[in-house]
Amino acid sequence: MKNKKNRDRIGLGYAVTGVITSLKTEFNMRIHVIIMFVVIFSGFLFRISVFEWLFVILAIGFVLAFELMNTVVELLTDVLFKEEHESAKNIKDISAAAVLVAAIFAAMVGIIIFFPKVIEFMNALF
Ligand SMILES: Nc1ncnc2c1ncn2[C@@H]1O[C@H](COP(=O)(O)OP(=O)(O)OP(=O)(O)O)[C@@H](O)[C@H]1O
């Protein structure tokens, strides 16, 4: 369903629009982005290594990408199932579970990297 006007825009523009739409409509996406900024700030504050940055970036990327896909699944489910339906429930619940798995992985990465540094910082302080 492309027209002349649409062809003038590059794919990246649509992707950015998708991110903005998801930020506007999804509360969880806004939370993930806030956490992302806090983690990136902490990464600079605690001067984490390049190796640690790789894990942090991977974890952030996984969570944001899964959240975006979860939003797509929710939108499609709402279009496909106008009424209450067992399948709609399962689709949404399993899609949300995928985000949860990514978030748990990210939390574990965060704890493994930052927890010892926070303890060290506290010990130096008191
Ligand atoms: N059509 C449906 N039929 C049966 N259960 C549904 C249906 N739509 C949603 N649900 C259930 O309600 C839960 C919440 O759905 P709801 O649409 O309110 O939020 P969501 O779109 O899944 O998530 P978000 O909070 O990100 O908007 C789903 O996880 C699912 O268990």
Distant-in-sequence, close-in-space partners of 102: CB < 8 Å, separation ≥ 6: 59, 62, 63, 66
Q: DSSP alpha helices (H): ranges in 26-49?
A: 27-45
And the tokens for 59?
């974890």
ipTM of the modeled complex: 0.89
Q: Considering only CA atoms, which of 69, 61, 57, 58 is closest in space to residue 97?
A: 69
* CA–CA distances in Å: residue 13 to residues 9, 19, 20, 73: 7, 10, 11, 21
pTM, entire model: 0.88
What is the structure's pLDDT at 83? Answer: 96
State pLDDT tens for residues 87-117.
999 999 999 999 999 999 999 999 999 999 9
- Residue with the smallest CA separation from ligand 1 atom 22 is 92
Tell me the one-letter amino acid at 35: I
Ligand 1 pocket list (CB less than 6 A): 26, 28, 74, 81, 84-85, 88-89, 92-93, 96
Q: Domains in the chain, ordered, with CATH?
A: 4-125 (1.10.287.3610)
**36 band by pLDDT with thresholds 50, 70 and 90:** very high
- Return the percentage of the chain with pLDDT > 70, whole number: 92
